[in-house]
Amino acid sequence: MSLSPWRIHGDNAKTGPRREPRSRDIEPAPDRARCRPALAGYREIVTFDLTPTVAQHDLVTRVHEFAQDRIRPVAAHYDRTQEFPWPVLEEAAERGFYSPLFYRDLIGDRTGLSLPMFMEELFWGCAGIGLAIVMPALALSAIGQAATPEQMLRWAPECFGTPGDLKLAALAISEPEGGSDVRNLRTRAVRDGGDWVIDGHKMWIGNGGIADVHVVNAVVDSRLGHRGQALFVIPGGTPGLELVRKLDKLGCRASHTAELKFDQVRVPNDHLLGGPEKLEHRLARAHASAQDGRGDSATMGTFAQTRPMVAAQALGIARAALEYMTDYANRREAFGAPIIDHQGIGFPIADLATRIDAARLLTWRASWMAANGVPFERGEGSMAKLAASEVAVQTTERAIQTMGGWGYITDHPVEKWYRDAKLYTIFEGTSEIQRIVISGALGAAGGKPPMHFGLEPSGGPLNKMFGRGTEIRTRAATAALKMKDHVPEPVRKAAMKVLRPPR
């Protein structure tokens, strides 16, 4: 069987109080209220369980089918032409994958698994088209972090539209002079009567300039750094909002990414997410705590929430490349055997499969923690993003190397996946930033033991007394061993059934 262009063999539908690092200059921690310690008894934690529910299994199956049958057949076309994939978005909307309620439903899953499962399958199809589909969800996440309930009801539907009348949304944070360095953002918002006037320059903005809703981060009090920033909604077509250019990217070329300028953009007071009273309260609190460097940031809360989501996207690319090169290595023969039987090919594939599974577990853990309000005290969100993005680049590079000259040309998708994967070590916080975040969190923890030491335990008092490994159970087992020669065989067998490990 020949490896025809873009044909994917071996379909696989399986899927696999301190806060997160506070750096005064780079990516401070998320809002304490959004990552409150579960051990404080705020709410019951849903147990971390890797077994998918029936609904999750159905979701994975439906998304995988959509990715395989609708996304992959057109991925090469949109990568080559850089056209926006409107027909694919339309079908995604018809299937229910392009809706604010759909994403809020996934985010609200307390198991934490629905959203990363969805993301991995979608991006297994194509990262560029996947970004086009989920980009409004990033804006929706920012709105959910900062908006009043009334603003949420007003703007969330405008981020997606409805089948037959689709809309787009953009989250505008990064700037030419400041991406990860949030204190260096220069877009300003100044109050003018009942309005806000916004001036600035944004770069690398997904859906920028073509979106119906732009959620824009701007400085309202320069003395407070990231704590002096606020989020504003700027509708598409607002006077002064300029699409400078669409960016010509290395990968993820089906998604629209742009440079924007804001020249005296005027929006009414109700476009300030959270409202003026909440902003005044937050600024006053930030001024009061300025000396110890504490404060809240809706923008950074958004980064913390989206990192597991972005990690899952990278995993989709990595898994696609792993499956493709494994199938190729199984069928390609050299020196009298399939090349996967040669250690030079098989061992790197084995290592990458291990790293992908490890990154998936980190991603699911981080998503579970976010869903249950468990704080990222050791940088767990950044660990997931770092591991997944790095292994995506490593796997796609190895896929090209495994296929040799065939991997280097566009007859096969691995070169595209390599170009797509590189984005993930850069956006939503570079790999270097993730390492700063993780090391900062570990330093702040000061040798504090891992998360499971502090979480509220499950099982109740009976489990504490008689659960596996408890002192009473161990003493009983020791006593039973001493008496085994004096106990009737039926009793011994019954006891061993209770004590034996699960099968």
Paired sense of beta strands 213-219 and 229-235, if any: antiparallel
How does 12-23 read in b/e, with b if 16+ C-beta sit within 10 Å? eeebbebbbbbb
User: pLDDT by residue (tens digit) across 204-229?
Assistant: 999 999 999 999 999 999 888 888 99
Give the Cα separation of 67 and 462 in Å (integer).
47
Q: What is the pLDDT of residue 323?
A: 98
What pLDDT is attached to residue 193? 93
Question: Could you count the other beta carbons within 10 Å of the beta carbon of residue 417?
Answer: 28
- For CA atoms 186, 128, 324, 313, the dihedral sign is positive
User: How much is the average pLDDT of 40-45?
Assistant: 54
Q: So which residues are the catalytic ones?
A: 428
Q: Are 169-287 and 302-445 the same fold in CATH?
A: no
Nearest to 312 by CA among 251, 253, 391, 376: 391
Output the six-digit token pair for 227.
């704590």
Give CA torsion, residues 317, 323, 326, 331, to 10 deg: -130
**Closest C-alpha among 49, 62, 19, 64 to residue 110:** 49
Domain 302-445 indexed as CATH 1.20.140.10: yes
Here the tokens at position 456 are: 């509220």
Please say whether the beta carbons of 301 and 30 come within 8 A.
yes
Q: How far apart are CA 278 and CA 262, in angstroms?
A: 24
Q: For 356, how many CA atoms within 13 A lie in the half-sphere containing its CB?
A: 25
The whole-number average pLDDT for the span 342-351 is 98
Query: With 0-12 CB in 10 A as exposed, 13-18 as middle and 19+ as buried, what is 455?
Result: middle
Please tell me the distance from the alpha carbon of residue 79 to that of residue 322, in angstroms, as a whole number.
20
DSSP bridge partners of 200: 262
pLDDT tens string 82-130: 999 999 999 999 999 999 999 999 999 999 999 999 999 999 999 999 9
**Model confidence at 43, in pLDDT bands (50, 70, 90)?**
low
Collect all residues with Cβ–Cβ distance below 8 Å to 433 and sequence separation of at least 6. 26, 27, 180, 382
14 pLDDT exceeds 90? no
44-49 own/partner pairs: CB under 8 Å, 24+ apart: 44/456, 45/372, 45/374, 45/455, 45/456, 45/458, 46/110, 46/111, 46/112, 46/368, 46/371, 46/372, 47/458, 48/111, 48/112, 48/364, 48/365, 48/368, 49/111
Q: Which CATH superfamily is domain 169-287 in?
A: Butyryl-CoA Dehydrogenase, subunit A, domain 2 (2.40.110.10)
Stretch (H or E) spanning 301? helix 298-331
**C-alpha–C-alpha distance, residues 293 and 224, integer Å:** 9
Length of the chain: 503
Asked whether 415 and 408 are in contact (CB, 8 A), the reply is: yes
Q: pLDDT tens digits, residue range 287-303? A: 887 655 454 555 555 56
AA identity, residue 292: D
Strand 241-246 relative to strand 257-268, pairing: antiparallel
Helix (H) or strand (E) holding 261: strand 257-268
Is the predicted pLDDT of residue 313 greater than 70, yes or no?
yes
Instruction: Fill in the DSSP letter of residue 23.
Output: -
Q: What is the mean pLDDT of residues 430-443?
A: 94
pLDDT at 158: 97
Mean pLDDT of the chain: 87
Give the whole-angstrom CA distance, residue 98 versus residue 166: 9
Q: What are the domain boundaries of the chain?
A: 54-166, 169-287, 302-445, 465-499
Specify the pTM. 0.86
Beta strands 213-219 and 169-172 are parallel
The band of 9, judged by pLDDT with boundaries at 50, 70 and 90, is very low
Tell which residue, 49, 53, 129, has the closest CA to residue 89: 129
pLDDT at 57 over 90: yes
Q: Does domain 54-166 have CATH number 1.10.540.10?
A: yes
Count CB neighbours of 375 within 10 A: 26
Tokens of 299: 């923008």
Cα distance between residue 371 and residue 132, in whole Å: 24
pLDDT band for position 469 (cuts 50, 70, 90): confident
